[in-house]
């Protein structure tokens, strides 16, 4: 019998354990001192404590996890999402220990994990990346020259900046010449480094991603698109599959490019290529996530398959049998992430014990959660309580099904964002598909908060 060690916690660990049980595989859960009574520990065949609460001492502790895998003679290891899932050193250490890591090869992870290296690889292979200067721009003259290739409007970005700081948007060459020295000076003062670079400003862009599945034998398939445009501070809140309100030809081009990208980095197992889609229909590579994604269930819904099972099969060396033409999605799926946070108080996390949890159900509704009534949402880890996935024949039905399910959902003991999700699903902008990645912060949230008070 094959034994799978699940090197994660919460919802994704539970998700993986459930698939393993279905497949008749033995499961080993690992847990920190905090999660001794966690749902994933209760469900797994065996469990082992790997250290104290802080993630770097437990879920990020490579030595302890590998020792647990060896001690329980695990054949396979699933890293889940987050934590060590995109750590190439961990994948390598697993291979050395004779344990099959359920994920891509370390070499691919290394390329994709380094933003600069990934960008260079994509440019070298002729894939579209967000236009920008070739590294740091030293002078105004150089900047104006680079801007001719990039086009306007564009952003001047501080190399050491982050979180929206040290960014200036300019509309034309005149403004660029005026602002460039100012941004450099600001960056010098704020970050101690005056290096800046240029990048095309893509207003009102959408986030479209493609699910990739590749076996060890060179077969690469895509499993359609997902739209994850509804995000706040790069945190996805609602996702849908397939992407709606995008011309079929554009979607086909995006899917085709994603497959080519996966081939270019010798990708194996399940992965996701993320693109920005602009208003005028151009799309650019953002990054490729070398792991399963949180929002994978919506793809599972429209294709009627189990991606965790597929991951395990790839890791076991199985051959992809089905051809791309025979992979036909059906219907529409929407996922809402319900987090323990208070939208009214600037999304302050709301950890605590779940006193009760009344879950919706029925045809087309799927709930993935790592918690049950009486469990505690710990401030030490992420605040996601559950994922509500609704699957119906078309987008309209899926939205109505999601809304109804959100209405049924009742969680007490903690604050959560179900009301916010409900409001977003009801919003005319969302229904007509005129949203973009900054829509929540710029347009929706102000309206939502005003409506509440």
Partner 1 sequence: MNLFSEQIEHSLPQTGEATGALEILRCARCGRDLVAEVVLAGDAACPYCGNLFRQPAYRRIEAIVDSGSFIEIERETETGDPLSFPGYRTKLEKERVKSKMQEGVVIGKATIKGQRTALAVMDSYFMMGSMGTVVGEKIVILAEFALHNRLPLVIFCASGGARMQEGVLSLMQMSRTTIALARHSAAGLLHLNVLTHPTTGGVTASFAMQGDITLAEPGALIGFAGPRVIEQTMRDKLPEGFQTAEYLYEHGFIDRIIERRDMRETLAAILALHNAGHTETAGQGARR
Residues engaged in binding partner 1 (CB under 8 A): 1-2, 23-26, 32-33, 48-52, 58, 61, 63-64, 66-68, 70-73, 213, 215, 221, 303-305, 309-310, 312-313, 316, 318-322
Nearer to partner 1, 53 or 438 (CB): 53
CA angle 399/402/406 to nearest 5° reads: 140
306: which DSSP letter?
A: -
- The Cα–Cα gap between 27 and 32 comes to 17
Nearer to partner 1, 184 or 332 (CB): 332
How many residues comprise the chain?
A: 453
Nearer to partner 1, 70 or 348 (CB): 70
Kind plus residue range of the DSSP H or E element containing 70: helix 62-71
Q: Which of 93, 116, 85, 92 is nearest to 106 (CA)?
A: 92
Q: From the CB of 221, what's the least distance to partner 1, in Å?
A: 8
Q: From the CB of 52, what's the least distance to partner 1, in Å?
A: 5
Q: From the CB of 259, what's the least distance to partner 1, in Å?
A: 15
Structure tokens at 208: 């479209």
- The Cα–Cα gap between 208 and 279 comes to 13
Nearer to partner 1, 45 or 204 (CB): 45
Nearer to partner 1, 140 or 316 (CB): 316
Q: From the CB of 109, what's the least distance to partner 1, in Å?
A: 22
Q: Distance of CA 95 to CAs 13, 81, 269, Å?
A: 21, 19, 15
Q: From the CB of 440, what's the least distance to partner 1, in Å?
A: 34
- The Cα–Cα gap between 318 and 61 comes to 30
- Check: CB of residue 391 under 8 Å from CB of residue 372: no
* Helix, coil or strand: residue 242: coil
- Check: CB of residue 212 under 8 Å from CB of residue 271: yes
Q: From the CB of 32, what's the least distance to partner 1, in Å?
A: 8
Tell me whether the omega of the peptide bond preceding residue 199 falls within 30 degrees of 0, making it cis: no
Nearer to partner 1, 69 or 425 (CB): 69
Nearer to partner 1, 67 or 175 (CB): 67
Residues labelled catalytic: 291
Q: From the CB of 332, what's the least distance to partner 1, in Å?
A: 17
- The Cα–Cα gap between 190 and 326 comes to 55
- The Cα–Cα gap between 58 and 31 comes to 7
- The Cα–Cα gap between 403 and 423 comes to 9
């Amino acid at each position: 019998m094959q034994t799978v060690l699940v090197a994660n916690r919460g919802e994704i660990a539970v998700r993986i354990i459930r698939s393993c049980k279905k497949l008749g595989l033995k499961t080993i859960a690992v847990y920190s001192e905090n999660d001794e009574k966690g749902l994933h520990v209760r469900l797994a065949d065996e469990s082992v404590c790997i250290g104290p609460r802080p993630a770097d001492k437990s879920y990020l502790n490579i030595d302890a996890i590998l020792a647990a895998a060896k001690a329980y003679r695990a054949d396979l290891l699933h890293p889940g999402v987050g934590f060590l899932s995109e750590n190439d050193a961990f994948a390598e250490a697993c291979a050395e220990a004779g344990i099959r890591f359920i994920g891509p090869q370390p070499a691919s992870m290394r390329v994709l994990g380094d933003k600069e290296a990934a960008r260079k690889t994509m440019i070298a292979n002729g894939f579209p990346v967000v236009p920008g200067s070739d590294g740091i721009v030293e002078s105004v003259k150089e900047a104006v020259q680079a801007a001719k290739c990039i086009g306007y409007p564009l952003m001047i970005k501080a190399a050491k900046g982050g979180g929206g700081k040290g960014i200036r948007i300019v509309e034309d060459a005149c403004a660029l010449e005026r602002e460039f020295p100012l941004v450099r000076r600001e960056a010098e003062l704020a970050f101690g480094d005056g290096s800046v670079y240029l990048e095309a400003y893509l207003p009102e862009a959408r986030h479209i991603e493609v699910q990739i599945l590749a076996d060890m034998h060179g077969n690469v398939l895509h499993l359609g698109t997902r739209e994850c445009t509804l995000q706040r501070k790069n945190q996805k809140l609602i996702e849908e599959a397939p992407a709606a309100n995008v011309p079929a030809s554009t979607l086909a081009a995006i899917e085709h490019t994603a497959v080519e990208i996966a081939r270019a980095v010798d990708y194996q197992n399940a992965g996701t290529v993320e693109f920005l889609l602009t208003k005028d229909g151009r799309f650019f590579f953002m990054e490729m996530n070398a792991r399963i994604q949180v929002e994978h269930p919506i793809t599972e819904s429209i294709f009627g398959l189990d991606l965790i099972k597929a991951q395990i099969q790839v890791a076991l060396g199985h051959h992809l049998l089905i051809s791309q033409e025979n992979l036909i999605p059906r219907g529409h799926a929407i996922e809402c992430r319900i987090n323990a946070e208070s939208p009214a108080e600037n999304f302050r996390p709301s950890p605590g014990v779940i006193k009760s949890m009344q879950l919706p159900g029925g045809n087309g509704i799927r709930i993935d959660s790592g918690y049950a009534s009486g469990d505690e949402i710990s401030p030490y880890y992420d605040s996601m309580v559950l994922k509500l996935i609704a699957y119906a024949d078309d987008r309209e039905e899926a939205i109505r099904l999601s809304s109804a399910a959100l209405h049924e959902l009742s969680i007490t003991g903690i604050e959560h964002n179900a009301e916010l999700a409900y409001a977003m699903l009801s919003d005319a902008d969302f229904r007509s598909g005129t949203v973009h990645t900054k829509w929540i912060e710029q347009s929706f949230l102000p309206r939502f908060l005003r409506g509440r008070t």
